[in-house]
Amino acid sequence: MTHMGLSSCVSLCLPDLFIERFCMTGGSSPIGYLKAWQTNLYLSADAEKVREALSEGIAAATMFMSNKLTEVSQTQLRVAFDGDAVLFSDESERIFKAQGLDGFFQHERDNEDILLDRGPLKDFLASLGKLQKKFYAKGHRLDCPIRTYLVTARSAASSGIRALKTLRAWGLETDEALFLAGAPKGPMLEKIRPHIYFDDQMFHVEGAAEMGTVAAHVPYGIAQKHPHKKSLNTGK
Ligand SMILES: [Mg+2]
């Protein structure tokens, strides 16, 4: 399904994972080959290559390993996603930056029935969903070896509804959806114990890594232009 970085990450929990495809590019960028390989996810410690992959429409993230690693399941792959600017576009984040929290809430209420645009990792969640359905077909619904999580700063009562409606319309509901309403993500991720967590904001990536989660940064959206400004995910 995937190759390169994810293979090494997944092999932490799936020691029998075969890594069959690889390339040696003599120091030149491998990004041009990713589409030909039908890559579902590109992970690298090289942020520049990750940005290049995202610009090619490939789901991609920069890896940051934690010094302290929380023990993870050996039998179930758990993947956690932020919502805005990861599964969804950064549309709402832009409204927050321009109009503040009240403007954001109003915008989400006004657009509750309008689906959010796709974000850079939507197709990767869809790929995991396809694998899950294969396990369901074999009777493994409750003990599916893949479990997905939405971990968002949106709140369930208001802005979260639009996110849920969008996922449902895409047919891509995560197994669990956690609406933190601005609370720190690190402690929740410590409980979930995902093998990897994706977020567009370094603040959350660092917060997750500090608490032992393998976190990956998706360098996409408005948060990259103003990384130190108050953001949707930290401002509530
Ligand atoms: Mg976000």
The 10s digit of each residue's pLDDT in 146-188 is 999 999 988 877 789 999 999 999 999 999 999 998 889 999 9
Of the listed ranges 27-31, 197-201, 228-232, the least confidently predicted one is 228-232
- What is the pLDDT at residue 89? 97
Query: Residue 9 — very low, low, confident or very high, per pLDDT cuts 50/70/90?
Result: very low
- What is the pLDDT at residue 6? 43
- What is the pLDDT at residue 33? 92
Distance 27 CA to ligand 1 centre (A): 32
Distance 1 CA to ligand 1 centre (A): 25
- What is the pLDDT at residue 151? 96
Q: Give the three-state DSSP class for 176.
A: strand
Q: Which fold has domain 77-224?
A: Rossmann fold (3.40.50)
Does the predicted TM-score (pTM) go above 0.75? yes
Q: What's the CA angle centered on 125, arms 121 and 127, to 5 degrees?
A: 115
- Rounded Cα distance between 91 and 108, Å, is 10
Query: Residue 5 — very low, low, confident or very high, per pLDDT cuts 50/70/90?
Result: very low
Structural tokens at position 141:
């619904």
Distance 199 CA to ligand 1 centre (A): 6
Domain ranges of the chain: 5-63, 77-224
**Phi-psi category of residue 83: left, alpha or beta, with phi > 0 → left and psi -120 to 50 → alpha:** alpha
pLDDT tens digits, 12-64: 445 566 777 788 889 888 899 999 989 999 999 999 999 999 999 999 999 98
Burial class (CB in 10 A: 0-12, 13-18, 19+), 91: middle
pLDDT tens digits, 108-161: 989 999 999 999 999 999 999 999 999 999 998 889 999 999 999 888 777 899
Which residues make beta-bridge pairs with 61? 43
Distance 82 CA to ligand 1 centre (A): 6
Is 82 a residue of the active site?
Answer: yes
Catalytic one among 82, 90, 199, 200? 82
- What is the pLDDT at residue 16? 66
Collect all residues with Cβ–Cβ distance below 8 Å to 24 and sequence separation of at least 6.
Answer: none
Distance 85 CA to ligand 1 centre (A): 5
2 or 171, which is more confident: 171
Of the listed ranges 104-108, 167-171, 191-195, the least confidently predicted one is 104-108
